[in-house]
Amino acid sequence: MTSVLRPAEKHLFHLKVMYLLLAALVFASGCKQKPAEVDDPQLKPIEDIIKMNLPLGTPDATVNHFLAIRGYPTETSQKPGTIVAIIRHIDIATVKPVTARVTFYFDANGKLNTYEIVRTFNVPVPH
């Protein structure tokens, strides 16, 4: 059986298929961004807690619930689609507190897209 497409048409067809596959790959990868790894070793336990309990794709209501049941206070965020929390952790090895300001970013569907962890000053725990 012979091909009904001329060589130039075949080339154009192959280009179109390649672009469609590329577009499908980009679409399938979604908009999720891998969170940047923390450099500060004292922030690593906080990062591990978040990774273990709040994987990417977690709904914003679940993130709020996670923060609330652990008593982590949240701040009013200036950006829509974000939750800002203050997470305080005691380093078991040094018995010293470390505090981080964690900003959770959500996509248009309210699913966790990425987060950012920044060390802040330790403040006394209110009684």
φ, ψ at 28 (rounded to 5°): -65, -30
Residue 38 lies in a domain: no
Contact 117, 43 (CB under 8 A): yes
Residue 90 lies in a domain: yes
pLDDT of residue 112: 97
Residue 52 lies in a domain: yes
For 92-124, b/e burial (b = at least 16 CB within 10 A) is: eeeeeebbbebbbbbbeeebbbbbebeeeeeee
pLDDT digits (tens), the chain, 127 positions: 555 667 777 766 666 666 565 554 444 444 556 676 777 888 999 999 999 999 999 999 999 999 999 999 999 888 899 999 999 998 777 788 899 999 999 999 999 999 999 998 876 666 5
- The domain containing residue 23 runs over which residues? 1-30
Beta-bridged to residue 88, according to DSSP, are 99
When divided into structural domains, the chain yields a total of 2
Is the same domain home to 14 and 65?
no
Residue 89 lies in a domain: yes
Contact 117, 46 (CB under 8 A): yes
Is the same domain home to 60 and 108?
yes
Question: Is residue 116 helix, strand or coil?
Answer: strand
Residue 37 lies in a domain: no
pLDDT of residue 24: 47
Spatial strand order of the sheet with 96-106 comes to 74-75, 82-91, 96-106, 112-120
Is the same domain home to 79 and 106?
yes
Residue 99 lies in a domain: yes
State the pTM of this model: 0.69
